[in-house]
Amino acid sequence: MKRIGILTSGGDAPGMNAAVRAVTRVAIANGLEVFGIRYGFAGLVAGDIFPLESEDVAHLINVSGTFLYSARYPEFAEEEGQLAGIEQLKKHGIDAVVVIGGDGSYHGALQLTRHGFNSIGLPGTIDNDIPYTDATIGYDTACMTAMDAIDKIRDTASSHHRVFIVNVMGRNCGDIAMRVGVACGADAIVIPERPYDVEEIANRLKQAQESGKDHGLVVVAEGVMTADQFMAELKKYGDFDVRANVLGHMQRGGTPTVSDRVLASKLGSEAVHLLLEGKGGLAVGIENGKVTSHDILDLFDESHRGDYDLLKLNADLSR
Amino acid sequence: MKRIGILTSGGDAPGMNAAVRAVTRVAIANGLEVFGIRYGFAGLVAGDIFPLESEDVAHLINVSGTFLYSARYPEFAEEEGQLAGIEQLKKHGIDAVVVIGGDGSYHGALQLTRHGFNSIGLPGTIDNDIPYTDATIGYDTACMTAMDAIDKIRDTASSHHRVFIVNVMGRNCGDIAMRVGVACGADAIVIPERPYDVEEIANRLKQAQESGKDHGLVVVAEGVMTADQFMAELKKYGDFDVRANVLGHMQRGGTPTVSDRVLASKLGSEAVHLLLEGKGGLAVGIENGKVTSHDILDLFDESHRGDYDLLKLNADLSR
Amino acid sequence: MKRIGILTSGGDAPGMNAAVRAVTRVAIANGLEVFGIRYGFAGLVAGDIFPLESEDVAHLINVSGTFLYSARYPEFAEEEGQLAGIEQLKKHGIDAVVVIGGDGSYHGALQLTRHGFNSIGLPGTIDNDIPYTDATIGYDTACMTAMDAIDKIRDTASSHHRVFIVNVMGRNCGDIAMRVGVACGADAIVIPERPYDVEEIANRLKQAQESGKDHGLVVVAEGVMTADQFMAELKKYGDFDVRANVLGHMQRGGTPTVSDRVLASKLGSEAVHLLLEGKGGLAVGIENGKVTSHDILDLFDESHRGDYDLLKLNADLSR
Amino acid sequence: MKRIGILTSGGDAPGMNAAVRAVTRVAIANGLEVFGIRYGFAGLVAGDIFPLESEDVAHLINVSGTFLYSARYPEFAEEEGQLAGIEQLKKHGIDAVVVIGGDGSYHGALQLTRHGFNSIGLPGTIDNDIPYTDATIGYDTACMTAMDAIDKIRDTASSHHRVFIVNVMGRNCGDIAMRVGVACGADAIVIPERPYDVEEIANRLKQAQESGKDHGLVVVAEGVMTADQFMAELKKYGDFDVRANVLGHMQRGGTPTVSDRVLASKLGSEAVHLLLEGKGGLAVGIENGKVTSHDILDLFDESHRGDYDLLKLNADLSR
């Protein structure tokens, strides 16, 4: 193996650039050449491929987004798209590929490996919805951004004795909601993976207000419903002075946290080492504090499990 | 004059606490006693009044919101409400009042003055919609919060070559939108005070994309329309990959900026000095870098004028 | 057991307040009464003890420092001091104590347990120098603060092609230096636990500059030497345009990160549950993502082990 | 005039990139060609000059430092250096130059103008020590960075009832110290332009502690003495639990504030418009909220005047 390619795919996440930097530098430190592939699998098929030197990834560790750009490209699920991509790899003499992204990216990495081009998947998504990893690259940063925003919202909620319903991201995964909910002292956390009872939440908010609490906060994962919808539900059970907020796309940006930068660096390094060992079709992750890898096929049979004990903890913590 | 009261009214704004601290400490430094009035004019009428000592306002200069709480209280526009409030002032031996808030607060301050209780209004609102002051307390902080959020949104916009329509606060005033738009390199800024042409904005966005720009950004003041509505308008003129974001209530929170803390301190101090000179019915502000005061009646005849040259400047700056 | 006391001891750390909040609320949720003890063991002996209600710990989860205050009190190592403290516990009817702090705090907790008052230690220190826990409360926040500061320093370093030597905290532990060094793309990381070679670092910096890198960065743990001393050492091996910075006490402050708030909440909750089970003399921690507890005596026989692989990783990442 | 050059000189400041962006885009919008000159006057003489297109300054408005790099170059004070620079301007067909920087930059701009190449100076320095402008580009950001750091220091100061002496930047100008001191609720602010009395400050700190204040803070401008020296002075008058902190070079970095971005944009635009009017030898600034320009020679006869009333205000505000 002499040349590796690297691409980012799916929704962008803070730390993707740090991962690209790690892959590039560790590969070069091990005598490999590195090529960047722009716009994910779309760019692979289109041949939007260029050599990456060590200095090209300078000043990127603290920059969010992905300088390789990302794009959706469902056509890569088809054999035809894959073969077009492989032709490009051959043309550029690329032997192996690192793919950073979410679920869809892993399918692509698996296909490339099946065609004889070892590929490793890295979990790059804010949603933390990937199995066999305790954290995805970007998850911690998204939590921090959401927490900072809700800390600000609480200032104004308290000044007016208001209840706020806040939508956080995560698609069908409640991890951001749970962690941010605990961190912000939410009265209730509502996630897609567990049942919830709006009436009970309404009663809890009423009790809190009666006991003198000067604000209310319900963190609702976007996968459950919109903040507006939840607000409408809540109002069925009481006359609350309530506002709805959708934190939105800012959760995808911002300079990565220490955790995300270190995680991206570790996982990027591991991906290169796996390729150097001649391995492919693997997904890298962090489990119990250790870098691990699993067959991508195994990931499709498994689903991510969140730390649902946080819901019980939060119930005790919110008075 | 021996005793002054202080209250916050209307929407809360970062720096209100810093202003209360300044009023309290400067008053005490000048031999006065200070009473806090909770929940604005509602609390005044209800007699929710308590002595404020110097140490009560410690650790508040960096805290957003208002520890005196705020509330709407339209009843204070009526003579009956005013008389009830004045009874409370008499009961607590309060001779004069400092009112921090927006437009409505000034009406209250004027009524108290007319009833013989000198009152001074301080501009506390993020909207910057008060005449005779270049900046209101909270405006700079709200701009910073909005800018930080949009900086994050731009990361993800660039990764996906997307256009974002972002709603910022300001009610009927476009000042936040203009200043934040320039600071974030918006392609277009849309405010209530000036006409705009969606088709022209659409064309500008198209040209920018064609010339290789990797993102688009339109900052829309909430007083114009919602981001969703603007997005729908925009789509009439092109097939954009566009998302809408409403920054929301986080713009009301967050630790005040240096500017807002210093402004709140200066205006709070001036309010006390005016009362010491036996003056009332005045609104304090900052004009051309200097602390000034005007008859509150004059404010009702005047409207705030923004720095609309920023629109022309921004047109030159966004390619 | 009906009443528990809680105190913070040693250097303060972000998240201590979140831990006090968690202990208080979980205890109350389980039918206990809670008493706060001010100024650590000094306040225990002096009887500076007061009841803590649920609302007393509201608005604290995002506030750094410790509202219970902290103090050094070596006298508690003596039997006399301990007996005086126990007298106060008896006087207030307190059966058990949660102690949040570093090394010294654990000795105190052990002594109280030996005298029949079950006590649980929580790792509250930015230094991350406690055995049997992968992270201490405050460590992640200190890393974020240091990283943010160094990100800013890098801006100016790059503008002038300068080398910066930056001292980060951690006393005799290099964990902050390692994690922040990787996160900031340091050319070299110098920690007390591992040998280092100034000449080699000098050569690496020279090579980087010759290959066009526009800045240099060496992160030096305070336990090694001061940044000024290291700068003097470095200058022996080359004529660098170099500056020394000591980040200082700001690393102890700042609103806690998501990680620290969640960690503090989990460990605080666990401490109460252990007391409810009649246990004492234990230190709580987080290992491999799970909350654990160990006999405090075992901690004295063990020392913290850092993730020293980060040094090798960083060597590959810094070109 | 067809081509203008642009360079940054002296110490870097947040917002310099935003100013370069504004000059570039406004010049292009007015039909000019723009050339970037790297490393200030040193690069001018060395011919390190390259064409700047609109897209080259994209993604720079929020980045601190200067992508044109900066350097000291005392040789430009000599006729020989100036002629060498002018030769380069001729070679590249550059008719006029915008210089962003501090004092020294203005001398260079004046010399170029005298040699027939109209040049305009822009105040780019965190120190705010330039006459005929109320604010320099970078000043507001430096104040925010210093304030944020001191807010964090106060957390730990309060936890341990400590006094902190904090050095802020500003060279011989006390503006950062004054504004940050007021914003952080300092007990005392010590600047080079005004006398101070350490004994009186010591007494104030003692009184504050006796009246129950849980921390002390003295902000000392670096132009007065180091924090360590001040700490030694202070200890002559009492047995304080005191720590010294030097905030250091982080004050030069960080994403520019809204104020600095807007200021840089306005002043950069004005510089181009002055050149288009055939003017040179002028320094642009902001006075009383309006963009102004003055003969650079006048700046040398004048010195910056700070808002020294802030010292009196702060004395009233700190109890």
pLDDT at position C73 is: 92
Grade residue A262 by pLDDT with cuts at 50, 70 and 90.
very high
Instruction: Kindly determine whether residue C289 and residue A134, on different chains, have CB atoms separated by under 8 Å.
Output: yes
Q: Which residues of A are less than 8 Å from C262 in CB distance?
A: 179, 182-183, 310
Tokens linked to B30 = 């000048």
**Residue B14 burial by Cβ neighbours in a 10 Å radius (0-12, 13-18, 19+):** buried
Task: State the best of B61, B259, B262 to mutate against chain D, taking most chain D CBs within 10 Å.
Answer: B262
Residue D23 is labelled as binding a ligand: yes
Is it the case that residue D280 has pLDDT exceeding 80? yes
Average pLDDT (C294-310) is 96
pLDDT, residue B103, reads: 84
Closest Cα in chain D, distance from residue C191 (Å)? 22
pLDDT digits (tens, 9 = 90+) for B210-260: 988 999 999 999 999 999 999 999 999 999 999 999 999 999 999 999 999
Q: Per the CB < 8 Å rule, is D152 touching C246?
A: no
| Residue D127 labeled ligand binder | yes
Dig out the tokens for C248 from the structure: 């200082």
Question: What is the torsion angle, in degrees rounded to the nearest 10, for the CA atoms of residue D131, residue D135, residue D140 and residue D142?
Answer: -20
Neighbouring chains to D with at least 3 Cβ pairs closer than 8 Å: B, C
Average pLDDT over residues A44-63: 96
In sequence order, the β-bridge partners of residue A243 are A164
Distance separating alpha carbons of residues A219 and A182, to the nearest angstrom: 9
- Residue D187's pLDDT band (cuts 50, 70, 90): very high
Closest to D73 (Cα-Cα) out of D49, D41, D100: D41
Query: Does residue A103 carry a pLDDT above 90?
Result: no
Structure tokens at A52: 């990456």
Report d(CA B19, CA D115) in Å as an integer. Answer: 53
Length of chain A: 319
As a whole number of Å, the CA-based R_g of chain D is 22
C179 a known binding residue?
no
Tell me D221's DSSP state: E
Q: Read off the pLDDT of each residue in B41-57 and give the average, rounded to a whole number.
A: 97
Nearest Cα residue in chain C from A212 = C55
Report how far residue D189's alpha carbon sits from residue D201's, in angstroms, rounded to the nearest whole number: 9
Q: Which domains does chain B have, with CATH numbers?
A: 3-138+256-301 (3.40.50.450), 140-253 (3.40.50.460)
- Residue A250: its chain B contacts at CB < 8 A? 149-150, 152-153, 245, 247
Residues C281-298 as b or e (16 or more Cβ within 10 Å = b):
bbbbbbeeeebbbbebee
Rounded Cα distance between C221 and A258, Å, is 17
Tokens of B160: 């996906």
Secondary structure element (H or E) that encloses residue B3, with its range: strand B3-8
A261 chain-C contacts, CB cut-off 8 A: 147, 182-183
Amino acid at A174: G
Catalytically annotated residues of B = 127
Dist CA A5 CA A24 (whole Å): 9
Distance CA C142, CA C14 (A): 8
Confidence bin at C145 (pLDDT 50/70/90):
very high
Q: Tell which residue, C280, C284, C253, has the closest CA to residue C268.
A: C284
Q: What is the mean pLDDT of chain D?
A: 97
Q: Which residues of A fall within a CB distance of 8 Å from C25?
A: 316-319
The pLDDT confidence band at residue B49, using thresholds 50, 70 and 90, is: very high
What DSSP string runs through C36-76?
EETTHHHHHHHT-EEEE-GGGGTT-TT--S-TT-----GGG
pLDDT at C319: 73
- Say if CB D193 and CB D307 are below 8 A apart: no
On the question of pLDDT at A179 being above 90, the answer is yes
Are the Cβ atoms of C61 and A185 closer than 8 angstroms? yes
> Is A155 in Cβ contact with B12 (below 8 Å)?
yes
Tokens of B169: 């606060």
Q: Residues 6 or more apart from B178 whose CB is under 8 A from it?
A: B189, B191, B306, B307, B308, B310, B311, B314
From the list D127, D134, D140, D260, the catalytic residue is D127
Residue among A141, C269, D179 nearest B257 (CA): D179
Does the annotation place C103 within a ligand binding site? yes
**How are strands ordered across the β-sheet holding A3-8?**
A49-51, A33-37, A3-8, A96-101, A118-123, A282-287, A290-295
Looking at residue C104, what is its pLDDT?
A: 86
Residue D11 CB-half CA count within 13 A: 23
Contact call for residues B221 and B247 (beta carbons, < 8 A): no
**Is residue C65 a known part of a binding site?**
no
Q: Residue D103: which pLDDT band, with cuts at 50, 70 and 90?
A: confident
Phi, psi of A166 (to 5 degrees): -120, 125
| Closest residue on chain B to A252 (Cα) | B156
**What is the pLDDT, as a whole number, of residue B319?**
73
* B207 Cα distance to chain centroid: 36
Annotated binding site of B: 11, 21-25, 72-73, 102-105, 125-127, 154, 162, 169-171, 185-187, 213-215, 222, 243, 249-252
Which other chains touch chain B, taking contact as 3+ CB pairs less than 8 Å apart?
Answer: A, D
pLDDT band at D109 (very low <50, low <70, confident <90, very high): very high
Interchain contact, D55 vs B319, CB within 8 Å = yes
The CA-atom distances, in angstroms, between C269 and each of A171, A314, A316, C21, D169 are 29, 10, 9, 9, 44
Between A and C, how many residue pairs show a Cβ–Cβ distance under 8 A?
Answer: 113
Spell out which residues of chain B touch residue A222, defining contact as CB-CB under 8 Å: none
Q: Quick: pLDDT tens for B85-143.
A: 999 999 999 999 999 999 889 999 999 999 999 999 999 999 999 999 999 999 999 99
Which residues of B are known binding-site members for ADP?
A: 21-25, 154, 185-187, 213-215
Task: Pick the catalytic residue from A12, A127, A134, A175.
Answer: A127
For residues B127 and B102, the answer to whether their CB atoms sit within 8 Å is: yes
Chain C residue closest to A63 (CA)?
A: C151
CA gap D286, D295 in Å, rounded = 14
Instruction: Tell whether the model's pLDDT for residue C3 goes beyond 80.
Output: yes
- pLDDT score, position A104: 86
- End-to-end alpha carbon distance in chain B: 59
Q: Where are the alpha helices (H) located in chain D, listed in sequence order? A: 16-29, 40-46, 79-91, 103-114, 139-159, 175-183, 198-210, 227-235, 258-276, 296-301, 309-317
What percent of the residues of chain C are helix, what percent strand, and what percent coil, each to the nearest 5? Answer: 45, 20, 35
Give the gap in angstroms from C-alpha A9 to the nearest C-alpha of chain C: 23
> Taking CB atoms and an 8 Å limit, are C254 and D69 in contact across chains?
no
What gap in Å lies between CA A271 and CA A249, rounded to an integer?
A: 29
User: pLDDT above 90 covers what percent of chain D?
Assistant: 96
Q: Which residue from B65, B156, B157 is facing A155, i.e. has the nearest CB? A: B65
C-alpha span between C268 and D237 (Å, rounded): 42
**Burial grade of D51 (CB within 10 A; 0-12, 13-18, 19 or more):** exposed
For chain A, list residues whose CB is within 8 angstroms of any CB belonging to chain B: 8, 11-12, 14, 16, 63-66, 69-71, 145, 149-161, 164, 214, 243, 245-254
pLDDT reported for residue C72: 87
Q: How far apart are the first and last CA of chain C?
A: 59
Q: Which residues in chain C have Cβ-Cβ distances shorter than 8 Å to A269?
A: 313, 316-317
In the sheet with D188-190, reading across from the earlier edge strand, the strands are D188-190, D216-221, D163-168, D242-246
pLDDT in tens, C146-174: 999 999 999 999 999 999 999 999 999 99
Given a cut of 90, whether residue C113 has pLDDT beyond it is yes
> CA of B71, closest CA in chain A: separation in Å?
6
A186 has a pLDDT exceeding 80: yes
Q: Which residues pair with B122 in a beta bridge?
A: B100
* Residue that has been written with the tokens 């090529």 in this structure: A35
Calpha distance D283→D292 (Å, rounded): 8
